[in-house]
Amino acid sequence: MDNLLEEYLNPLPYQLYTDVKEGTLGHVIQPYIDEFPEWTSADIALIGVPEGRYANGNAKTSTAPDQVRKELLRLSNHFSSLQLVDLGNIKMGEIPEVTQGHLINVLVNLMQEDVIPVLIGGSIDLGYGMYKAHTLHNQNIEVSAVLPRVYLEEDEVIHRICMDEPNHLFNLNLLGFQSHYADPEDVHVLEKMFFEPYRLGVLKSRMKDAEPILRNTDILLFDIGAVKQADAPGNFNNNPSGFSSEEACQLAWFTGVGEKTAAMGLFEINPEFDYRHTTSKLGAQIIWYFLDGVHSRTGDHPKLHKEFVKYRCTLNDRHPDIIFHKSKRTDRWWMEIPNIHNPANKQTLKIPCTYGDYQQATRGEMPDRFFKALQRMPK
């Protein structure tokens, strides 16, 4: 199996892992330099994708993987229970689509062994390869994308994921889009599909609300352009407004601690425009907080234990009852989503929610989160 992965990966330059200090991530990560590391028992696999040909005015993002690595390897190792490997960089194809194929083949093998890939891009269009690999193993996939703009043109990653066939997309969360960069019609299209676009201002005013959004995520796509220019200057398409560096790290931690998250990708860092490697340093910190989230998992999900208190809320005769689950371990909430399109199918989905959703249901009101999930249930 190792040989199969080696076919699609280039080893790293020896200099990257020289002079790493004890107590840092560089000291514990097993890298692909001379020999391919034993990866099947790893928890996390770092993979660089130096593919910038998709990028809009940001082609030098292809140089980001090794620069972000330099900064990541210097950070402290707080993750004694995590096994980390660095599998090097995906081999570039003659055209970007060949690179996507290499990426998909690597990710499929990692997911078969429950190894979480952390991608360092490259263009965010590589997120389509992440999604495509996931569809080969799973249905009802939830994708979260931290983006400054709403991208619905045919060749953009969000459009490609939404229109992919056969369609396994259960939900799409767009976090941090800015109204002045969004066509209202594009936002309306997403809402008509019962997906979840969240404006930057809404999330910044209530960052804790991002936790239940990200708790159910299978794949996180993080465009560094969603961070304000002052904190992340290394991006051709950046702008003065956006998430702060601290908020970006918080989003990564929320995603990592979610039990479902199976892949994370960081994209659009361009060292050509970076000031004193500020953006590469932030990229490294975003990955570090994602690792910290994975390290902090407690197995808190209705599929993983039975320490829950159940509450049933009746709305009215025209709507199904809502069953809530409150974890005794963490006080976090979930709710059951029945399949209204196929009542004979008694299988329900359990999705994260908030105490506020429960309070709303006790007043006989249907939470918006419940309504949208009902509409998205497979027909």
Tell me what pLDDT residue 333 has: 97
The torsion region of residue 88 among left (phi > 0), alpha (psi -120 to 50) and beta comes to: left
The pLDDT, as a whole number, for residue 260 is 93
Angle (nearest 5°) at CA 256 between 254 and 257: 70
Half-sphere exposure of 365 (CA within 13 A, CB side): 9
Q: How many Å apart are CA 73 and CA 152, to the nearest integer?
A: 36
Start-to-end CA distance of the chain, whole Å, equals: 38
* Amino acid in the structure at residue 293: G
**DSSP track, 282-316:** HHHHHHHHHHHHHHT----STTT---EEEEEE---
Please choose, from the candidates 53, 54, 72, the residue with its C-alpha nearest in 3D space to the C-alpha of residue 12. Answer: 72
Per-residue confidence (pLDDT) for residue 30, from 0 to 100: 96
What is the identity of the amino acid at 61? T
DSSP code, position 209:
G
Question: What are the tens digits of pLDDT across the range 355-371?
Answer: 999 999 999 999 999 99
Determine the Cα–Cα distance for residues 133 and 99; give it in Å rounded to an integer: 13
Peptide bond into 225 cis (omega under 30): no
Residue 276 DSSP SS3: coil
Query: Are 60 and 270 a contacting pair, CB within 8 Å?
Result: yes
| Integer Cα distance of 313 and 320 in angstroms | 9
Q: What is the pLDDT of residue 316?
A: 75
Measured distance CA(243)–CA(42) in Å, rounded? 32
Strand partners for 31: 86
pLDDT value, residue 352: 96
Q: What is the pLDDT along the chain (379 residues), one digit of tens a residue?
A: 556 799 999 999 999 998 899 999 999 999 999 999 999 999 999 999 999 887 777 778 999 999 999 999 999 999 989 999 999 999 999 999 999 999 999 999 999 999 999 999 989 999 999 999 999 988 889 999 999 999 798 889 999 999 999 899 999 999 999 999 999 999 999 999 999 999 999 999 999 999 999 999 999 999 999 999 999 999 998 899 999 999 999 999 999 999 999 999 999 999 999 999 999 999 999 999 999 999 999 999 998 999 999 999 998 767 788 999 999 999 999 999 988 777 666 778 899 999 999 999 999 999 999 999 999 987 7
Tell me the C-alpha distance between 314 and 321, whole Å.
5
pTM: 0.95
Would you state the pLDDT for residue 2? 52
Whose tokens are 């989160």? That residue is 369
List, for residues 251-305, the tens digit of each pLDDT value.
999 999 999 999 999 999 999 999 999 999 999 999 999 999 999 999 999 989 9
